[in-house]
Amino acid sequence: MRQACREPETKVSRGVRGLGRIGVVRKDPFYLDCLSLNGERERDRLFCRHDYRHMVLVSQISCKVIKQTGGLNILVKTEGLSGIRSALEVVYAAGLLHDMGRWRQYDTGEDHALAGSVMAGSVLERAGFSKREAGVITRAIREHRKALPGQSYLGRVLCLADDLSRPCGSCGARLDCYKYEYMENIKKETLQGMRWMPVRR
């Protein structure tokens, strides 16, 4: 069953409310089906679910990181986007879609970042993103799990936002989590100064 995509109200979400293509992504039937499949596969998962709330958090953190570092202009220049509005929609859409392929990993063992980048293509096309914009987004989704040589700027931001989005300190499963220490270190380092190259997971 499809879940309703009600977004937590924040400064960032208020900022993207007027961005029409994000609204289309959020209501895309295939996207909603993927979220439902993620939910079904993670019904018994105790921590780090890949649900809509996680997607929104990653979008919001990515936007904050990019805005604070002047990254919207960097994206416009390096990726040849049409302007700030396009860059903002690209960043937000990448966060919303980055784990849509997680259910496929449970079913087949395929890397969810690779599967998700392919799945996201049709959603982005239906939402009206250009080929260039969709290319930036799908590449970042493909690169969101780990640092890679030549990783794109948005791929690095998405990877960092993904780690920062997890409330590890208050997680009931932290004692059983193999990544707890690593995640807490990332948060400390980020507070001390922006950490641009996420380490391999």
Residues at the site binding Fe ion, with contacts judged by CB under 5 A: 99, 162
CB of residue 77 to Fe ion, shortest distance in Å: 27
The torsion defined by the Cα of 119, 69, 21 and 19, in degrees rounded to 10, comes to 160
Angle between helices 84-97 and 52-68 (to 10 degrees): 150
CB of residue 197 to Fe ion, shortest distance in Å: 18
Nearer to Fe ion, 21 or 54 (CB): 54
Nearer to Fe ion, 99 or 143 (CB): 99
- CA 99/CA 198 separation, integer angstroms: 18
Nearest by Cα to 96 from 71, 132, 124, 74: 124
Nearer to Fe ion, 57 or 81 (CB): 57
The torsion defined by the Cα of 122, 125, 127 and 128, in degrees rounded to 10, comes to 180
Could you tell me if 95 and 62 are in contact, meaning their C-beta atoms sit under 8 angstroms apart? yes
Nearer to Fe ion, 59 or 86 (CB): 59
